[in-house]
Structure 1
Amino acid sequence: MVAVDGPAGSGKSSVSRAAARELGFDYQDSGAAYRALAWNALEHGVDTEDADAVLASLDDFDYRIGTDPDDYFVRVGGTDVTQAIREPRVTGVVSAIARIPAVRERLVELFRRVIEASDRPGIITEGRDITTVVAPDADVRILLTASEEARMARRSAETPEHSARAVAEQLSSRDAQDSRVVDFMNAADGVTTIDSTNLDFDQTVSAVVDLVRTSRVE
């Protein structure tokens, strides 16, 4: 089990998925569950600022995620929402939902079930509190980070339709909102920091893969 934590724009998802592919591991994007829940709430007219209403929506939240890095999907109630959960309307409310303690507790249970169900040699799970809350006993725990400038540049490249200022504001807002719930900027004891500020994508993936392989040998 490999746990990868880090701030927005650090490359957690893309790096973790590529590393899982190279290692022959499963891959779990925990953030997809929060986004899927946000999408589900919006689709059913749930007030995303009402903690009790959001929590109640979990009772019939039929969530499925593909953990094969080459066959990744997210489904809610049989509907493929892989792309829909990345829409601006979802992004705009997901942090509010993720800040609800009872929701986080329920989803942590879900993440652990996905980890336990993996039938590959390992699984990489990435998210904001994976190394400290979801999988504090993971074989390898990584804090993947980068300077704010590097993170903004990468996010801008992913969303060329947005101005640099808009991207900066979005990243700062997301970090500020999420930091109210979990410290994802500082590595906890036993967590290895990989700073990708001066690394390209392939180098960052290699750093993760090498760390996992070294740890398995030890």
Structure 2
Amino acid sequence: MPENKKSAPVVAVDGPSGAGKSTVSKTLATAIDAAYLDTGAMYRAATLAVLRAEVDPSQTAQVTKAVKNAKLEFGTSPEDPFARVDGEDATLEIRGDDVTKAVSTVAANKTVRKHLVAEQQRLIGEAKKGIVVEGRDICEVVAPEADIKVYLTADPGERAKRRAAEVGADESATEQDIARRDGADSETTKPMDPPEGATVIDSTELPVVEVVAKILALLNNRDIND
């Protein structure tokens, strides 16, 4: 294996909403001095562009046009993973209720997915010091050749608790929304099924530092075996 493969690893973190992918991925990226990419934020930014264009998220052709016409920019620093839509910072706005309700529909658009996956793969290729990529179809679609593949999961109650705390929402309503999104996303990805070749980590009772330690151990073992 080439030397730069070891020094610039690609780590793919898959799993359902609320499993802790973002926190774990950002912490890991900081620990190994790598870039960080939240692909879910990319679909949210695309959805915001659709809503701003006053396009019905179910209208496939119009959605595709709105997304391709928008200028979407994403920061890959774990300290500042920003999202910009047409030059305006949208990091907070993409987490709002309107975007959350529509994102699964926009993400189900095959042309939009193809467009964003190509952008995700471009950003991965530009990460000279390695990158931690997180999302719902990373291991099998976006980065199938990743050096380390992790499927991060947690029980539904814990996932809802974390997400509710993150966005300041009611826990019961959040659990229902997560169930809705899992169902909707299952039409295009397999958020509840561990990808082939991925190491499954159940984070229900594990603090972030322990989850990160487990992934660091996988990286260390890879270096030793290589």
TM range (shorter): over 0.9
Backbone CA RMSD of aligned residues? 1.3
- Pairing 1:163–2:170 present: yes
- Pairing 1:29–2:38 present: yes
CA distance in 1, matches of 2:23, 2:195: 23
Pick aligned residue for 1:152 from 146, 160, 185: 160
Pick aligned residue for 1:10 from 19, 25, 50: 19
Q: What is the aligned partner in structure 2 of residue 50 from structure 1?
A: 59
Structure 2 matches for 1:98-177, cutoff 5 A?
98-120=107-129, 122-160=130-168, 162-177=169-184
Q: What is the aligned partner in structure 2 of residue 82 from structure 1?
A: 91
Moved over 4 A (4+): none
C-alpha deviation, 1:153, in angstroms: 2.1
| Unaligned 5+ runs, structure 1 | none
Number of aligned positions between the proteins: 216
- Pairing 1:189–2:190 present: no
Q: What is the aligned partner in structure 2 of residue 200 from structure 1?
A: 207
CA distance in 1, matches of 2:67, 2:222: 37
Q: What is the aligned partner in structure 1 of residue 7 from structure 2?
A: none
1:19-66 C-alpha deviation (Å, 9 max, x unpaired): 100011100000111100111111111111101111111322211111
Q: Which amino acid aligns with 1:163?
A: D
Q: What is the aligned partner in structure 1 of residue 219 from structure 2?
A: 212
C-alpha deviation, 1:156, in angstroms: 2.7
CA distance in 2, matches of 1:82, 1:69: 13
C-alpha deviation, 1:5, in angstroms: 0.4
C-alpha deviation, 1:143, in angstroms: 0.5
Q: Which amino acid aligns with 1:43?
A: R
Pick aligned residue for 1:178 from 182, 185, 189: 185
CA distance in 2, matches of 1:182, 1:71: 27
CA contact under 8 A between 2:11 and 2:132: conserved in structure 1? yes
Q: What is the aligned partner in structure 1 of residue 48 from structure 2?
A: 39
Q: Which amino acid aligns with 2:222?
A: S
1:112-149 C-alpha deviation (Å, 9 max, x unpaired): 000011121x1011101000111111111110111112
CA distance in 2, matches of 1:61, 1:213: 40
CA contact under 8 A between 2:12 and 2:150: conserved in structure 1? yes
CA distance in 2, matches of 1:8, 1:167: 11
What TM-score comes out, normalization by structure 1 length?
Answer: 0.94
Q: Percent identity?
A: 38
CA distance in 1, matches of 2:171, 2:80: 32
| Unaligned 5+ runs, structure 2 | 1-9
SS of the aligned residue for 1:138 comes to coil
CA distance in 2, matches of 1:98, 1:59: 14
